[in-house]
């Protein structure tokens, strides 16, 4: 008897094989949305359960990207707006994040990755900041780049970039400064200036908006909105996103 799992496995293999000769995105941004709604739908004991499932999916997705040769990944795991959620809920999420970061210290899954963090890290608990600092030190090399956005807001990044740019050029007269500012200067002051523009953004949970994710870097990104919640996001869903990407005609505003 042919099982659904077997059929999905065949379909997944076929999808991946068909993508091998296509031009895949070099930089993927992922909005990992839907943990709480998944927990409510599945009647889980707490959000913490869904957060843990979501972090398993996070690591699996890294492996999928590594397997397909996608060298740059930006994962939005916590927005600045999320910081206003109830303390009890945030604390459970912080604990799960901390466990994830401790795993990444020793997991050979990220041996090829440099891990960077962007966002308002200073607003996070001290123990989480310490884990982030240690992870950046241990995973400070690697040919591929994983950027984790925590306490991140796209508007705040642009505001901070402008503040940094003005601070750097404060000796200039205002008119000279205005004339000197250009796209590349602003880019050089973003949180992750060496990271290329986003080719593909994936958002799970059925929400059809970017919520301020990488506003500057996503000017010409392709966006795919997935109906599934992040904890149930499968490799086949990921491959479908890539298939949709390669089928699009990217015009870059032309």
CA-based nearest residue to 35, from 56, 51, 58: 51
Instruction: Give the other-Cβ count within 10 Å of 48's Cβ.
Output: 17
142 — pLDDT class (breaks 50, 70, 90) = confident
194 — pLDDT class (breaks 50, 70, 90) = confident
Note the pLDDT tens digit of each residue in 153-181.
999 999 999 999 999 988 888 898 888 88
Note the pLDDT tens digit of each residue in 82-123.
999 999 999 999 999 999 999 999 999 999 999 999 999 999
CA-based nearest residue to 231, from 4, 45, 35: 35
The neighbouring-strand residues paired with 58 are none
| Active site (annotated) includes residue 91 | no
Query: Taking the domains of the chain in order of start, what are their residue ranges?
Result: 28-247
Note the pLDDT tens digit of each residue in 200-209.
999 999 999 9
Report whether 213 contacts 29 (CB < 8 A).
Answer: yes
CA-based nearest residue to 70, from 144, 122, 181: 144
The predicted pLDDT at position 25 comes to: 95
The predicted pLDDT at position 4 comes to: 65
Could you say which of 17, 18, 21, 33 is catalytic? 33
Please give the class, per CATH, of domain 28-247: alpha beta
CA-based nearest residue to 91, from 55, 124, 114, 45: 124
Q: Is the per-residue pLDDT at 1 higher than 60? A: no
**Which residues have C-beta within 8 Å of that of residue 130, sequence separation ≥ 6?**
none
* 0.85 exceeded by pTM: yes
| Active site (annotated) includes residue 82 | yes
Rounded to a whole number of angstroms, the CA Rg of the chain reads 19
Could you say which of 66, 82, 111, 122 is catalytic? 82
* Structure-model confidence comparison of residues 215 and 8, the more confident one: 215
Q: What percent of the chain has pLDDT over 90?
A: 80
The mean pLDDT value for 49-72 works out to 96
The mean pLDDT value for 139-153 works out to 94
**Which residues have C-beta within 8 Å of that of residue 7, sequence separation ≥ 6?**
none
């Amino acid at each position: 008897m042919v099982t659904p799992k077997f059929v999905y496995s065949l379909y997944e293999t076929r999808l991946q094989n068909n993508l091998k000769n296509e031009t895949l995105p070099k930089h993927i941004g992922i909005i990992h949305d839907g943990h709480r709604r998944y927990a409510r739908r599945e009647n889980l004991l707490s959000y913490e359960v869904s957060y843990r499932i979501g972090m398993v999916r996070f690591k699996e997705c890294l492996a999928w990207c590594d397997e397909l040769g996608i060298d740059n990944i930006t994962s939005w795991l916590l927005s600045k707006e999320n910081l206003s959620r109830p303390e009890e809920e945030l604390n459970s999420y912080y604990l799960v994040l901390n466990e994830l970061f401790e795993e990444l210290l020793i997991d050979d899954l990220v041996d090829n990755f440099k891990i960077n963090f962007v966002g308002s890290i200073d607003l996070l608990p001290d123990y989480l900041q310490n884990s982030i600092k240690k992870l950046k030190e241990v995973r400070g090399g690697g040919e591929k780049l994983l950027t984790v956005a925590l306490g991140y807001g796209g508007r705040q990044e642009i505001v901070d970039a402008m503040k940094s740019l003005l601070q750097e050029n404060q000796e200039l007269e205002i008119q000279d400064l205005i004339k000197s500012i250009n796209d590349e200067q602003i880019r050089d002051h973003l949180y992750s200036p060496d990271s290329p523009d986003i080719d593909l953004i994936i958002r799970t949970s059925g929400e059809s908006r970017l919520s301020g994710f990488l506003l500057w870097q996503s000017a010409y990104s392709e966006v795919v909105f997935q109906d599934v919640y992040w904890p149930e996001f499968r490799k086949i869903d990921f491959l479908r996103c890539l298939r949709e990407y390669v089928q699009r005609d990217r015009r870059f505003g032309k």
